[in-house]
Chains A and B, each alone.
Chain A
Amino acid sequence: MSTRPRDDTDLIAGVGLMAVAAFFGWQTMGLEIGTSLRMGPGYFPMILSGLLFILGLLVTIKSFGREGEPGTPIAWRGILFILPAPIFFGLTVRGLGFVPALFITTLIASQASVKMRPVSALILAVAVTVLSTLIFSYGLGLPFRRFGPWLPF
Chain B
Amino acid sequence: MDLLANLAMGFSVASSIANLGFCLIGVILGTLIGVLPGIGATATIAMLLPITFQLEPVSSLIMLAGIYYGAQYGGSTTAILINMPGESSSAVTAIDGYQMARKGRAGTALATAALGSFFAGSVATFLVALFAPPLTAVALQFGAAEYFSLMVLGLVMSVALAHGSVIKALAMVVLGLLLGIVGTDIYTGTPRFTMGITQFADGLNFVAVAIGVFGFAEILRNLEDEHEREVMTRNINRLFPSRAEFREMVGPILRGTGIGSVLGILPGGGAILASFASYTMEKKLSKTPEEFGRGALAGVAGPESANNAGAQTSFIPLLTLGIPANPVMALMIGAMIIQGIVPGPSVVTDQPQLFWGIIASMWIGNLMLVVLNLPLIGLWVKLLTVPYYVLFPIIMAMSGIGVYSVNGNPYDLFAVAFFGLLGYVMSKLRFEPAPLLLGFVLGPLLEENLRRAMILSRGDPTTFLTRPISAGLLVVSLIVMVLVFLPQIRKRREEVFTESDA
Contacts and interface: CB of A to CB of B under 8 A. Distances in A.
Nearest to A77: B223
Contacts of A51: 174
B170 interface: yes
B396 A9 contact: no
B171 A55 contact: yes
A141 interface: yes
Interface string B208-220: 0000000010011
B393 interface: yes
B256 interface: no
Contact of B178 (A31, A52, A56, A90): A52
Contacts of B491: none
A60 to B, nearest CB: 10
Contact of B450 (A24, A32, A39): A39
B104 to A, nearest CB: 33
Nearest to B429: A13
A27 B226 contact: no
Nearest to B418: A83
A52 B397 contact: no
B403 A86 contact: yes
| Interface of B (DSSP majority class) | helix
Which of B178, B390, B420 is packed against the most chain A CB atoms within 10 Å? Answer: B178
Interface stretch (B109-117, B186-194, B293-301): B186-194
A124 B216 CA distance: 19
Interface stretch (B84-92, B371-379, B407-415): B407-415
A75 B190 contact: no
Instruction: Give the size category of B's interface with A.
Output: 35 or more
Given A91-B410, A93-B410, A105-B400, A113 B450 contact: no
| Interface of A (DSSP majority class) | helix
A87 B193 contact: no
Contacts of A36: 454, 459, 461
Q: Which 6 residue pairs across A and B have the least CB separation, nearest first?
A: A37-B459, A90-B413, A90-B410, A78-B223, A41-B185, A113-B389
Interface of A: 9-10, 12-13, 16-17, 20, 24, 27, 31-32, 35-45, 48-49, 51-52, 55-56, 58-59, 62, 71-75, 77-79, 82-87, 89-91, 93-94, 102, 105-106, 109-110, 112-116, 120-121, 124-125, 128-129, 132, 136, 140-144
Interface of B: 51, 54, 165, 167-168, 170-171, 174-175, 177-178, 181, 185, 187-188, 190, 192-193, 216, 219-221, 223-226, 387-390, 392-394, 396-401, 403-405, 408, 410-414, 416-417, 420-421, 424-425, 428-431, 447, 450-451, 454-455, 458-459, 461
Given A82-B420, A132-B397, 6 more contacts: A16-B425, A31-B190, A87-B414, A93-B404, A109-B397, A116-B389
